[in-house]
Amino acid sequence: MSSHIRSCLSLSLFAMVGLVGATAGAQEAIGAQTTPGSAVSIFGSKGQIAISSEAGTTFERTSISGVDGATTKLVLRPGVDYFLLNRLSLGAFVGIDYSSVPGGSTTVFSVGPRVGYDFAFSDHFSIWPRAGVSFNSSTVKTDAEELGGVSIPSSESSNDAVAINLFAPILFHHHRFFAGVGPALDTDLSGDAKATTIAVRVTLGGWVF
């Protein structure tokens, strides 16, 4: 592992530890506005396990001078989180990001840890921001084409990177299940071709003790 990647990883882990310390001191004040026994007041209890999946998809079709072009993007990131303390979670996720554009496609596989803290603000709603560090492996495929009478063969390239992943969904809770939507940010800290993605994604999940 290069010194640059080690430095990026160290800074990311330091930030995650800082978030743990900052939120742990505030946990007693959280939940004061909720009714004891409500779905929100129970969610995030110490020792609880939450299973969820973050997802996003877009599809666009554009026609220029009678030539159609379709763009498709799909993101799926299942994960498991364990609440070390009330409201404070530590978990891990795996993910696949696939995008297809005219002339090629990109596939990104990712895996990494994350830390989060759930802030309850009513009996049915809370916000659960999570910050993670992921190790990504991407593959870019370019289709063969003919340009100016010259045939260009298909090609494939790969890139490995360390990335920061942020997601802050507002959740609706009902019994042991929850659903939510919120902003997401993924940005590469290393790699040959650094990418940054800003999106709105949904999440579905449930919890067990």
On the question of pLDDT at 209 being above 80, the answer is no
In tens, the pLDDT along 37-71 reads 888 989 999 999 999 998 877 554 544 445 556 67
Block residue for tokens 């009714």? 35
On the question of pLDDT at 177 being above 70, the answer is yes
Structure tokens at 189: 């800290």
In tens, the pLDDT along 130-161 reads 999 999 998 888 877 777 777 778 788 888 88
Region 79-91 average pLDDT: 96
Work out the mean pLDDT of the chain and round it to a whole number.
80
Give 195's pLDDT tier (boundaries 50, 70, 90): confident
The full set of domain ranges for the chain reads 3-208
Partnered with residue 53 across adjacent β-strands are: 78, 204
CB 43 within 8 A of CB 178: yes
Residue 177 CA to residue 169 CA, distance in Å, equals 14
In tens, the pLDDT along 119-130 reads 998 889 999 999
- Cβ within 8 Å of residue 181, ≥6 positions away: 169, 170, 200, 201, 202, 203
Domain 3-208 has CATH 3.50.50.60: no
